[in-house]
Structure 1
């Protein structure tokens, strides 16, 4: 997988962007790591990038052939800024794009679904990664991780619904292959871990790994919507709470073999990730 041109990674300091950057540089690829602060990352060229400041987009795209595309966080209509950027990327010579989407949002759906729908018409080489919920939501800076630390609880409207939680390391491994393999996926790829878990199961594993009691506190759709609306736009809060309601009805109770097929190894379990990322926080 060596010998490809420069890959521009947007959101390069984020959960999947940082890991994708690390996977690409470790394999010997040239990477331009784009972030608002042009943060240096080992082996990558830093560049300042802000979705809402097009004046810097040209410098970020200069000489790039491939693009890992992370949507702007919290924007209910990311297509408004992403599609003009993608048209500019095509004109600048980018030929392959891998978009980070969501298992909950199909092509043409709300939010990033509109970008998914437009991608095949813009690029001959493309893939849309549609991961399930990140395992790192419980170990990093996500609201769930904060509520675990602050309240000893995970708050959702998922009831007993099950999810094929996926490790961000596995997402990055698939992203690196999709960006650099000779054969481009030209499709969307649903990514999950090896099993489905309820939030009660997650709370049990975190409790066992850390030795600190953690429970799953069940909210109604309305309670979760209003809680989220205190920190994000109402439209986005409605969408997120709606995803939890869909999970409660079984929408994410599935696993796929995508990680195994594209990387040649099985996906990591949640217990493995919890032991890797939480044991140092006791």
Structure 2
């Protein structure tokens, strides 16, 4: 594959950013790997970037003609810092923007939904990735993964609700296509895995994968909100708890063919991803 310009990957040390940057460099594309401490990605140019430090934005944007956007974590109003940056990016020569949002947040919805709504008016070439919950939440450093390792417990307020959990590698594969294809998607893309699973079903799969008992412990929406408030701003904790309630009501019980359509292969299933991640020490 020939190079298509220079892509600024914001959040290049994160779950999808690191994978997207690695796929881009492996395919021969020029990448600026951005993070608060200048992300190190083989083959990419490291650059420091902080959403809340506009002085870091100039060097990050220099020479970039497309950008992969990871919103600031834990911010219930990311548009306040993202929209000024995006206007600056357009003026600096960025012509394509791909935004990571969520299947739970529609255009014009809360948090990053406002950025989604503004994106088509800022760039002629754009896409909004709206993945379901990550399969990597059960490995690594996510609260679910920590709970599984420490007590064999997954704690949610989702009841019997099902989710089309998606592999972060599949998200990155779609991101690369959205960033580098000759024509931008110019739409939002809901990304899921091949099947919708309840957390009870996930716990059973985790038990099988780890050879250790894992259970799903159900709690109320209010209790989840209160637990989350101990670790993040109250408004954002409430937003996350509301997402669990929506899952319980069936909002995420779906699958899509987006990964298959854009990558030419089916999305990975949870058993295969757990086998891969656990073998890597996740």
With normalisation by structure 1, the TM-score equals 0.99
* 2:219 alignment counterpart: 219
| Cα distance in 2, alignment partners of residues 46 and 148 from structure 1 | 34
Q: Is the 8 A contact 1:210 1:279 kept in 2?
A: no
| Cα distance in 1, alignment partners of residues 21 and 42 from structure 2 | 9
Q: Is the 8 A contact 1:15 1:168 kept in 2?
A: yes
Please give the residue correspondences for 1:17-166 in structure 2 after superposition, counting only pairs within 5 Å. Answer: 17-166=17-166
CA shift for structure 1 position 281? 4.8
Aligned to 2:197, the other structure's residue is in SS state coil
| Cα distance in 2, alignment partners of residues 269 and 249 from structure 1 | 24
CA shift for structure 1 position 3? 2.5
CA shift for structure 1 position 212? 1.0
| Cα distance in 2, alignment partners of residues 35 and 193 from structure 1 | 28
Q: Is the 8 A contact 1:4 1:29 kept in 2?
A: yes
Stretches (4+) displaced over 3 A = 279-282
Aligned to 2:265, the other structure's residue is in SS state coil
The answer for unaligned runs of 5 or more in structure 1 is none
**2:181 is the alignment partner of 1:181:** yes
RMSD: 1.0
Q: Is the 8 A contact 1:155 1:216 kept in 2?
A: yes
CA shift for structure 1 position 2? 2.1
The answer for unaligned runs of 5 or more in structure 2 is none
The count of residues paired between Structure 1 and Structure 2 equals 282
CA shift for structure 1 position 151? 1.5
* 1:12 alignment counterpart: 12
Aligned to 2:80, the other structure's residue is in SS state helix
| Cα distance in 2, alignment partners of residues 216 and 2 from structure 1 | 47
Q: Is the 8 A contact 1:209 1:279 kept in 2?
A: no
With normalisation by structure 2, the TM-score equals 0.99
Deviates more, 1:35-44 or 1:85-94: 35-44
| Cα distance in 1, alignment partners of residues 222 and 243 from structure 2 | 12
CA shift for structure 1 position 185? 0.2
